[in-house]
Amino acid sequence: MSLSTTRVDVLILGAGGAGMMCAIHAGRRGRSVLLVDHAKKIGGKILISGGGRCNFTNMGASPQQYVSNNPHFCKSALARYPSRTFIEMVQSHGIAFHEKKLGQLFCDTSAQEIVEMLKTECNQAGARFWLETRIERIERLGSDSEALEAGELPRFRVETSQGLIECHSLVVATGGLSIPKIGATGFGYQVAEQFGLKLVPRAAALDGFTFSDSGTQSLTALAGLSVDCTMTCNGVTFRENLLFTHSGMSGPAPLQASLHWRPGDSITVDLLPGQNAFEWFLEKKRSGNRSQVKNLLSELLPARLADRLCELHFPSQQPLPQVSEKGLEAFCHLIHHWKLQPTGTVGYSKAEVTRGGVDTDELSSKTLESKKVPGLHFIGEVVDVTGWLGGYNFQWAWASGWSAGQVV
Ligand SMILES: Cc1cc2nc3c(=O)[nH]c(=O)nc-3n(C[C@H](O)[C@H](O)[C@H](O)COP(=O)(O)OP(=O)(O)OC[C@H]3O[C@@H](n4cnc5c(N)ncnc54)[C@H](O)[C@@H]3O)c2cc1C
């Protein structure tokens, strides 16, 4: 049986946040749009994001919160489609939301509302979806000619399990490698390679840290504990919570730091940010306090953490008056500058994003179109632009999708 050929102006591979945003805006411009995805459902990552409530943007989103080989690349899209424009769309759909902290906006009820909103907007713009569709082959048709440029002839033919599709613009929005069990693949990178585009090496990010066996042993006793801290990695510092796990460190501070970490780097943790532990102990000493350091420290930190830190770095059981100021100062320095050497990050099974991706040198920052292959666009997480934790990655998906949607 031969399958018929479907012709559209714009074919978008991947019906996640970036793909749907592009579909809405291309459709609104009167383009015929088809979104193809191998998953059963659209927006799978949106549904699991933000603990089911989707941290859909950040009110303070700016280029400073993104990591890329070219930190300037994201500026154009973020400036032309700022977070307030997305917030207006959310409001126009009557979706209730709140700021959790640090400009992070979450749905009051469910991430499903964001998916429904995007689906409604896609439908209104006339975009169609083909789900559970395997993409088998992509072929570039002909060489550049006036007819191709004018959109009179298709530029790409895509073979899928549902039939052939020919399109003028091909948009790759297949995301990164994180959470393979909900359908993440490296497909977008393969397409980039097929067309000779460079890739920036990829790594799991926003996933926290693991430690070697010996490092883990010193931390396992702390599993389940959460503390406020500042964590610094490669000169970038975050004040957030740190959660100790059986295999290492999770929670917002390690997730943020993991985005900036490279193999071999160490991280530095201040367990009492904004306080001066040495001054505090000296005050106790001067006032004649006779407790052990371990017991006093548990007034500042959870007892399990205070115990473990003392076991590892201050085993003295002497009462405070007998403790030397020099020894105390060194221990307090450690509390404020606890240096750890992770062996790795947790990996794609838990990572919120993939760092790296299609090299931004290959793309126009205004249209996300390939400089080498006219009509081929890459948007969203597949591109080497990765945001911090806190709604920044969706903002990039919306902004890059919108930018391509203006021109495809
Ligand atoms: C657990 C978790 C929580 C997160 N929470 C947040 C948050 O609260 N705020 C935030 O800003 N960011 C969050 N993120 C990151 C955010 O989800 C992504 O950065 C964003 O979804 C990227 O959008 P995208 O459209 O580029 O890719 P995706 O949303 O990943 O969409 C890609 C689509 O392509 C499809 N696809 C992949 N391969 C193929 C293939 N071979 N054939 C056909 N289709 C394919 C997939 O099925 C998917 O539908 C979270 C991520 C995770 C994993």
The model's pLDDT over 252-277, given as tens digits with 9 standing for 90+, comes to 999 999 999 999 999 999 999 999 99
Contacts of 203 (CB under 8 A, 6+ apart): 345, 354, 355, 356
With beta carbons less than 8 A apart as the criterion, state whether 4 and 96 touch.
no
**pLDDT tens-digit map of 275-307:** 999 999 999 999 999 999 999 999 999 999 999
Sheet with 55-58, edge to edge strand ranges: 55-58, 104-107, 97-99
Residue 306: CB within 6 Å of ligand 1?
no
Of 12, 36, 49, the residue with max ligand 1 atoms within 8 A of its CB, to mutate for a pocket test, comes to: 49
Radius of gyration (Cα) for the chain, nearest Å?
25
Contacts of 69 (CB under 8 A, 6+ apart): 200, 359, 360, 361, 384
The whole-angstrom separation of Cα 252 and Cα 347 is 16
**pLDDT tens-digit map of 218-246:** 788 899 999 999 999 999 999 999 999 99
Residue 183: CB within 6 Å of ligand 1?
yes
Of 132, 174, 400, the residue with max ligand 1 atoms within 8 A of its CB, to mutate for a pocket test, comes to: 174
Percent pLDDT > 70 in the chain is 96
Residue 380: CB within 6 Å of ligand 1?
yes
pLDDT of residue 151: 63
Ligand 1, closest atom to CA 187? 41
144 versus 247: which is more confidently predicted? 247
Using DSSP, state whether 374 is helix, strand or coil.
coil
DSSP string, 235-279: TEEEEEEEEE-SSEEESHHHHHHHHH--TT--EEEESSTT--HHH
Of 45, 48, 158, the residue with max ligand 1 atoms within 8 A of its CB, to mutate for a pocket test, comes to: 45
- Band the pLDDT of 217: cuts 50, 70, 90: low
Residue 352: CB within 6 Å of ligand 1?
yes
Ligand 1, closest atom to CA 20? 25
Prediction pTM value: 0.96
Residue 200: CB within 6 Å of ligand 1?
no
The whole-angstrom separation of Cα 372 and Cα 40 is 33
pLDDT of residue 141: 93
